[in-house]
Amino acid sequence: MLGKVVVSGISLILVVGVIIGVVVTVKPGREDDVTPQMKAVTQFCQPTYYKESCTNTLASANSDDPKELVKAGILAISDSLTKSFNLSQDLITKADKEPARSKAALEECKMLLGNATEDLQDILKKIGETNIASLPNHSDDFRTWLSSIIAYQEMCVDGFDEKSELRSQMQNSTDIGSELTDNVLNILKGFSTILESLGLKINLPATSSRRLLQDGPYPSWMPAADRKLMASRVNPVRVKPNAVVAQDGSGQFKSINAALNAYPKNSKGRYVIYVKAGIYKEYVTVTKDKPNVFIYGDGPRKTIVTGNKSFAKNGIGTWMTATVIVEADGFMAHSIGFQNTAGPEGHQAVALRAKSDMAAFYNVRLDGFQDTLCYQAGRQFYRNTVMSGTVDFLFGYGSIVIQNSLIIVRLPGPGQFNTVTADGRKERGQPGGIVIHNCRIVPEQKLVPRRFYIKTYLGRPWKPYARTVVMESQLADFIQPEGWMPWQGESFENTLFYAEYGNRGPGAVTGKRVPWKNLHFMNRNEALQYTVGAFLQGGAWIRNTGVPALMGLRV
């Protein structure tokens, strides 16, 4: 499977090769000792953070042709994934005397790196199909998708015990892949500027290929039937489902997985599943070949999907404990509950793991303890949701905004503290992070009597460049005055980005916050960068879902 990436990577010739309706003009430059190739390499690597690896990678193309340089960057990621995959396979053959957890983590690495390879192939195909003139307009999309490659590699490493030698070996390998991916992320971000610096001026066609909103809230290419469906999503009982799930036999299916298995091949529209009231004890996976699934129930306390897998009890990686897994893009959920009942003694136990770009959740309830929600990758929007947990219960590597929601902090296990967030942004070029906007953060009733003895923080940085913003939210009195805590044994406070703006309530007083240079108390203009419209490019897709969203600030 991994070998296919190297072969398919050759298709990247199309990245810069197909220039339709584009006029390229070359500015005359002075002669000097720098070869045209090295000038091009220098300009391409200018916006990157790992310039040495960038220069070495692009110089190997032995060309100053932009299409060859971009191709070299992507193929380097592919080659690194192959090496990491082969390393995991080699370590498995030598792991007879390793603990069971380490063996399992190696097997999980193979799966994750295989998934990363498949995703990279998809990215290569999409880039190949994109007119180079419109590529800068789609940089947000491609950077989001490429960030998932870093997420897969980090999930592989995170499956090992902290002090495991195998972890160190895999980390050393995947760190290379993360650096190479970060380089391409930043090259794509500044692609038009890079070409101009090389004396190439791209004249975009008069009509942009990114036609998002025309004549109202829906794009012109959306069929009338889909527009009607979108408009009724805020009241899903009016939606005619493709599949009905009911435990009493009154529907076509008795399980959600059975309804998903009936998803029509090569479906181009929205596949709607109505799940009638009941407690569904099943582990649900929306595989990536099933995009645009919309699941709705009779209410988040009436239609509940429940499981109890955990790291402590089952000995599996955190990412495999999820009750509900969404791997397909364009997922929607409404009026339904997802929970993991493993309890605080289960430690890592996920209720929902979402690797879905442009996913929206409305009137959904997510209940768990440690690691309730894993926002694995992609742009995700949560509105009018209820989320509960204890340690790091909102964590992940993607881009997420939680808006107008209730965040309930629960009573943890003995010796545990509470941290609402633990963002996993690893590289500076990644567009990820978590934004909590216009929400309420409160203790559950069981925690209230002990809320001043059990420490609760807004978050801690799971990875070096963790990005977390809490703004225009109500913070109850149990939030520690320091607000944030460091990750044990690390000094990520020197590289993270934490920010607060316009919060209210006794927990919002900032006078005693941790004295980190990268903890920001933003002004209004700075806060606007982390609204739904700016941070998730929400105007381009959330409005089309029918889910209400505040694109800007509350005040």
Distances (CA, A) of 384 to 403, 408, 409, 550: 7, 13, 17, 12
Is there a single domain that holds both residue 195 and residue 258? no
Mark whether 403 and 526 lie in a shared domain.
Answer: yes
In angstroms, how far is the first alpha carbon of the chain from the final one? 51
Identify whether residues 149 and 255 lie together within a single domain.
no
Catalytic residue status for 392: yes
CATH label of the domain that carries residue 233 = 2.160.20.10
Of 112, 111, 82, 98, the closest CA to residue 180 belongs to: 82
**Domain span holding position 462:** 390-550
Q: How do beta strands 467-471 and 497-501 pair?
A: parallel
Distances (CA, A) of 165 to 111, 313, 424: 20, 23, 22
Q: Number of structural domains, the chain?
A: 3
User: Which of 279, 325, 283 lies closest to 303 in space, CA to CA?
Assistant: 279
Beta strand ranges found along 378-450 (DSSP E): 379-383, 386-389, 391-396, 399-403, 406-409, 418-423, 433-437, 440-443
Query: What sign does the CA torsion over 262, 263, 269, 274 have?
Result: positive
Domain assignment present for 218: no
Among 79, 357, 392, 423, the one annotated catalytic: 392
User: Same domain for 180 and 229?
Assistant: no
CA 133 to chain centre: 27
At residue 237 the predicted structure's pLDDT band, cuts being 50, 70 and 90, is: low
Residue 385 in domain: no
Instruction: Assess whether 371 carries a catalytic annotation.
Output: yes
Same domain, 188 and 230: no
- For the record, the structure tokens of 65 come out as 């042709």
Same domain, 414 and 305: no
7 in a domain, yes or no? yes
pLDDT per residue over 135-186, tens digit each? 788 888 999 999 999 999 999 999 999 889 999 999 999 999 999 999 999 9
Same domain, 545 and 414: yes
| Inside any domain, residue 42 | yes
**What's the sign of the alpha-carbon dihedral 121, 127, 128, 130?**
positive
Q: Are residues 160 and 70 part of one domain?
A: yes
Cα dihedral sign, 527-531-535-540? negative
User: Do residues 29 and 173 both lie within one domain?
Assistant: yes
Please list, in sequence order, all residues whose beta carbon lies within 8 angstroms of the beta carbon of residue 525, skipping any fewer than 6 positions away: none
Give yes or no: residues 195 and 227 share one domain: no
Residue 383 lies in a domain: no
* 215 domain-assigned: no
Q: What CA–CA distances, in Å, run from 246 to 252, 257, 280, 287?
A: 8, 12, 9, 22
pTM higher than 0.85: yes
Instruction: Identify whether residues 193 and 236 lie together within a single domain.
Output: no
Residue 346 lies in a domain: no
For 79-127, what is each residue's pLDDT tens digit? 999 999 999 999 999 988 889 899 999 999 999 999 999 999 888 888 7
CA angle, 319 then 323 then 328, to 5°: 70
Average pLDDT of the segment spanning 191-208: 64
User: Is a pLDDT exceeding 50 seen at residue 16?
Assistant: no
**What's the mean pLDDT in 191-220?**
52
Does residue 360 belong to any structural domain of this protein? no
Give pLDDT, residue 32. 56
pLDDT band at 541; cut points 50, 70, 90: confident
Cα–Cα distances in angstroms (integers) from residue 488 to residues 175, 329, 460, 462, in the given order: 21, 34, 9, 9
- Residue 202: predicted pLDDT: 58
CATH number of the domain encompassing residue 151: 1.20.140.40
DSSP state of 69: H
435 and 322 share one domain: no
> CB burial class (10 A; 0-12, 13-18, 19+) of residue 62?
exposed
Look at residue 176 and give its three-state secondary structure: helix
